[in-house]
Every structure is written in C-alpha cells, then in structure tokens.
Structure 1
Amino acid sequence: MKLKRPQHEAPDDAAARKALKPVVAYPPETLPTPLLDAQPEVYRQAKAEWQLVSEVLVPAREAKTFRVPAGHFFRIRSVEGPQVGDLNLWNEHELSERFFTGKTRALHGTHLSTGDRMWSNFPHLRPMATITEDTLDWYGFDSFGGSVHDVIGTRCDPYTNKLLKGDDYHYCCHSNLCRALAEHVKKPIAEIEHLVHDVLNVFMCTGFDRQTGQYFMKHTPVRPGDYLEFFAEIDLLGALSACPGGACDSEHSSDQATCHPLLVEIFKPRGRGDDPLPGWESPKVSAYEGSHGLSTST
C-alpha cells in the first residue's frame, strides 16, 4: 500500500500546531467507580467461594452462544494452543441492547484489561460486564505499539473477504456469530444479522502502524491456561467465535491457519442468593431524559 504523502506545503506555524498537547477526551475520573476498584476484596471473596455451573466449548472456526446471569462470572480460556476469539454481548432479554465498542474504546482505550468495563449502546449506555482478571496483563504495549484484547478491529467478515480476495468464505467471525445467534433465537440469519456487532477481540494482539496508520495484527501471546475473566453486570447472552485466523499472525479467514477451540466457563458465587456481591447492584440504563432538545409537549 502506498504511503500517504501530503500534497500541500506546511504553513509557517505547522510545528506550533503539531506541538499542542493532547487532552483525554473522556476523563475516566468522572466515571462511576466500579466495585472492583472500590472494594476489590468483595470480588476476591466471591471468587473464593464460587462454583462452576456450565461450560461451552467453542470449536475452531465456529461460534457458540452462552448465557451468564447478572452477578455471575465467566472466563474465556485458551485450552489447546494460541487462538484468538471474537466476543459479542447482548442484554439477554432485549437483544437491541448490545456491546458498544466505540464508546468503550473512548472511555477505556484501544485495548481492555482488568478493571475496564464493556458498555452498551445508546440509549442504554450502561456497563454490561467488568473485566476482573487478565492473565495477559503483563504484555502491556510492545515496541510496535501492539497490545491484546482490542476494541479497534471490527471482526473478520465475508463481505470484506469478497472485496479483497474475490471468493466466498463462510467461516469468518461475522458469519460464525450470525449462525450461532440465529440458532439461539430460532430465526433466519437475514432477520438477525443486524444484531451482530463489533467485537472485543479476545487474546488478539493488534495496533496501528505508526507510519501508515494501518491496523495490524501479530501472533497472539496467549498460551493454554491463559484466560480473560468477566463479571456480568446484567443478564447476558454472549457469543464467541474461535477466529479462522487462529493466532492471527498471517491472515484472517483462512482454512490454512492452525486453529484451536476456546472454552467459556460460567461461575456462580456460592451461597449468596440473588445478591452475589455485597454492595453491588445491577446498573440501570442511562438517566438521560431522551428528548434531544425537542419538546415532548403536544
């Protein structure tokens, strides 16, 4: 791909304009404090007494759905070899409320880890899940600007594959998620495809090239036994695709890449009834009144 070259001379004050310091667009200090930060011992106690209630094994190049009640934990675990996964989340009772990568990215950054929250779309805008443990948190950002668990990539899809390669490939993560959701709700894909959305790229190592600005991927650092753990803030329906790119060190949407399954584990804090964490409440939807400046009077 050709480098983008300017076609206009820089103005005399170009250096001064570039030297202006950036500011954080959405200061995180004003966000509601997660219980994980305020009372981390509550989570530790809940995990010490939890019980495994279900497991879902996601085959390579496929996707599966899973349910997580509010107040439960779930883990996405590497079980056989380096493999990335694409995660969608919905409100189990209202699928139009779903994970909003753009606002999550604006609030927490390009890559997520322990303490970050996954926010839902408008008009709901509330935490759907909180990341409570990340065995890859040691990775940070490498010398290329890469890190793990991104909310910048969309998901591999058959439309872009057709555009770039000219063939039909049906095991892209978008297609996998569509099949899994369609099977869960017992509806044709044409009726539910619009509900499949941009993902959390679990275990995927990505960044932006500093010269061209292009989105890049590199071999995931995940190994069997690693996991990303979440606390469900609301009743969740999840869908996870074991990406056909495998470790995503060469290309997306490939039958040649070595791929492995991923395991989803759901845990219930033991013996705490319907209120599993002292001091925790399932978050309410946004309190914005919704008029957008228009009068609601008739």
Structure 2
Amino acid sequence: MENVKPYNDFGDFLRKVFPYKVQKISINAGFTCPNRDGSKGWGGCTYCNNQTFSPEYCHTEKSVTEQLEEGIRFFSRKYPEMKYLAYFQAYTNTYDELSSLKAKYEEALSYPGVVGLIVGTRPDCMPDDLLDYFTDLSKEKFVMIEYGLESTLDKTLLRINRGHTYGESETAIRRTAERGIYTGAHLILGLPGESREEIMHHADRLSALPVTTLKLHQLQLIRNTRMAKEYAEHPEEFHLYTADEYIDLVIDFIEKLNPSIVVERFVSQSPKELLIAPDWGLKNFEFTAKVNKRIAERNARQGRLFIPFSQEPVPHRM
C-alpha cells in the first residue's frame, strides 16, 4: 500500500513538477517596498527588519549573477546534477519599472542550471503588464508568485502597518491563479490581537482560494523593529508561543486547510543576533521533525476538518 503523507508536502510537489532535484537560491535584487518609500507608507511593516530574510551569500551590492554563482557553488559540490530556482526574496520584488524587473528576472533565467523563478511580493504590487509578462513566461519556465498576506484580518493588517487589505490579497491570488501561474501565500501565525479562533479562521479563508503553496511562520520579535518596541511597552498584548504550543497550533491549522494546498513550511528561523523572542533553539528541520512526530501521535492529517466552501442557495422568488 502507498505511504501517504499526512500533509501535502512541498518536496513532493517539486518532485511531481520536475524530473530532477531542484533547489531555491535566494536573491536580494536591491528592491525597496511601497510601504517604506512613502508610496503606501513609511517605515515598513511593524515586524520587519529585512536582514532576517537573506542568507549570507545574498547581499545587495552583488549582482543577480554573482549571488546565483555563490549560492549554486554551495550546493553543486554535493549535487552536481541539481537544477535551481531563482528566489527573489527580500522586500517587494515586483516594485520597479517593468523594463528593470524583466532585466533582473532574465539575468537570473540566463544563468546555467536555473530553470525557473519564485518571486516574493505584496498583493498590491502586481500590475497588469507585469502579470502579462509572467503569464507568457510561465508557458516556458517554472514561475511561482508568492504573496505576503500575513493575515486575513483587516484589523491586523492595519495594526502591523501592511498598507493593503485582505480584499487586495484575495484579488491578487485569484488574478494570478487564473493565468495558470503557481500562486503562493505567506502567513504569520500569532500576530498581536489575534485570538486562536481568528487564527484558525485564516485556514478557512485561504482554503476557499486557488492557492498552490502556503508558508506558515511563527511570530518572531526582531531587534530594531516597531513591534519590538510595542512588545517592550505592552507585553500583555502578545502571546509568544512555546515550541510545543506552536506545534499543536500548526497541526490544528492544517487539519482545517484544504488538502489540495501544498504546505511549504511551518516555521521560520531568524538570525540569533537579531531575534528577541521566541528562541526555541531549534533549526527548521528539527522543528519539522517534531511536527511530524506530533502529527503521528495525534493521528492528524491535513484537511481532516476541512469544510469545502459552498454557495448558499438563492431563495426562489414568487
């Protein structure tokens, strides 16, 4: 009998898409964000210190090619046959003139062994002409657009200074998926002011959308952010999960999640020198092993409590 995993795993998804091993290589292409330059706001999201995003080889003064070269050198020693996905990760990677964006994407795609793009961005930064470009590109290359939603609650998005609404998130996901492009979403679990019930409701709302992949991250308080200052002044407004509490939270979450959505990750690991709390002392793979162990103990599985969204019947008029 086939061994079926208890959740829709990202590694399995990649194995279905590609006939060879692939690895993401993070790129910082020097973009900013409309929430930092005054277009949408100033100072960025309250939790954001962008140093937490980027591996050591990924620095703004290096070109896209140089960053790919260093990242690929790291992996190719061990896996000479491996292919690569250029992951435009830091800040808003669709926030520039179309010609400048295309030049950076195409520089990445022209590098030997790079077979596709993953582009991290905001739901309010996907103009039609850029979506047209990605649509055409996706017919020849792997393309995934990863939207930072962070929450499905407008009150939270306002509190953390995101500068967009959840309605804009839904629209961006639908517009992208309708073009046949792989569409990712990113959520932070445990943002201030959100109850456990509200966190679980994120799963219901996302499950009704055409999302390909989902990244879940625990809330982390990072040095030199506005949220760190808020926490210092009002710690009672935050619930910082222990590792065991968060493990049960993410398992409860994926049990409500549409089983077709690929779960890319449960947790994030910020550099120790930037992290205030929670410091669990676990690497990502160690945390995932603990999640898998707890899933087995609970006999849990993704989608066990998923209720498909159904339209309410329209009453007949006499």
| Shorter-chain TM-score tier | under 0.3
TM-score, reference length from structure 1: 0.26
Higher helix share: 2
Higher strand share: 1
Relative contact order (C-alpha < 8 Å, sep 6+): which is higher? 1
- Determine which structure has more spread, i.e. the larger CA radius of gyration: 1
TM-score, reference length from structure 2: 0.24
